[in-house]
Amino acid sequence: MAGAFLKIPGTNPYRLLSHPDKFKACWEALVEESKSPNRDDGVLAYYKQCLDFERLWCVKQDLYFDIIHHLQVRGLDGEQVLFKPSPPQDRFIKRVTEQLQSGQQVRIIYLKPRRVWGSEAACKIIYPFVARHTGRTAFVFAHEDDAVTEIFSKYEFTHRTDHPLLKPEPRASNRYELIFGDIDSQIIAKNANSQRSGRAHGFRPQAAHFSEAGHYNPDTSHELFSGILIAIPAPPVPAVVIIESRGGKPAGWLYEKVRQEIAAPGSTGFELVFDPWPQRP
């Protein structure tokens, strides 16, 4: 199979980039060739070159392609399956990736109904945004310790099941941190109601994911958001801030920002996104 694939006219690393079927065939041929007792190291080197170009293309050109072709989720039965976004997730992911590719920083407040899995969609955006680049830090927040563990487990699972030729090597991985030593990037999860959560601790984060932000402590939420948001570099440095919540308390930073944005669109620096029930599948 490998030799036949190599003889396809016009096959070269660059031609594979925009053709998922060719990329899949290349990957399958690489796996098959590597298992062969008579494997050809030259063929293996060629396929690896093709796949390295694929990685470079994903990083520099098309985050959406990367998300839907390389990342995994747990299926309904707990099995590992390719991430296939639902219509609400797909709308949200496309909105974010299109803004990034146009050179904009992303700052979104996402008000979601039940069972849209907005946290999963945010994870699938933030993870490759950090893990495909050098020197990027992301903070992930949730409203209580159990929720921090749950949301971080999504990031840990996404990394563990990432495409083997795209996945960065972890220097450390514990309950709340993924540190990629080979690219000097990291994803750090925190309890939003901790006294120290509003400090960037010397990092200049380029990404932040605030999960269920409407349930943060209203008395400390202003310090949290101001401390993290002020640490994010200004444009033109790429950055993603996703604040998502389903319901919440009628007080605090998020409640005030939503009211302000409704009263004066564009005044907060955040895009307000609401995915109402009729738009759900």
94: phi then psi, degrees, rounded to nearest 5:
-65, -40
For CA atoms 26, 30, 31, 36, the dihedral sign is positive
Averaged pLDDT, groups of 10, the chain, 281 residues long: 36 46 67 75 72 62 84 87 92 92 92 82 95 92 94 95 84 83 90 72 86 94 93 92 90 95 95 70 49
Tokens standing for 180? 């990629």
In 3D space, the residue among 247, 239, 269 whose CA is nearest the CA of residue 257 turns out to be 269
Cis peptide bond N-terminal to 236, omega within 30: yes
In the chain, what's the furthest Cα-to-Cα distance? 69
Nearest to residue 69, comparing CAs of 34, 21, 116? 21
Q: Determine phi and psi for 279, rounding to 5 degrees.
A: -85, -5
Residues 192, 141 contacting (CB under 8 angstroms)? yes
Between strands 271-274 and 240-245, the pairing is: unpaired
Residue for token digits 């407040």?
Answer: 109
CA atoms within 13 A on the CB side of 122: 30
User: How much is the pLDDT for 75?
Assistant: 83
pLDDT at 277: 52
Q: Quick one: pLDDT at residue 15?
A: 44
pTM of the model: 0.79
The secondary structure of the chain as a DSSP string is -HHHHHTSTT--HHHHTT-HHHHHHHHHHHHHHHH-TT--HHHHHHHHHHHHHHHHHHHHT-HHHHHHHH-EEE-TTS-EEE----HHHHHHHHHHHHHHHTT--EEEEEE--TTS-HHHHHHHHHHHHHHTSSS-EEEEEESSHHHHHHHHHHHHHHHHTS-TTTPPPPSEE-SSEEEETTTTEEEEEEETTSTTTT--TT---SEEEEETGGGS-TTTHHHHHHHHHTTSPPTTS--EEEEEESS--SSSHHHHHHHHHHHSTTSSSSEEEE--GGG--
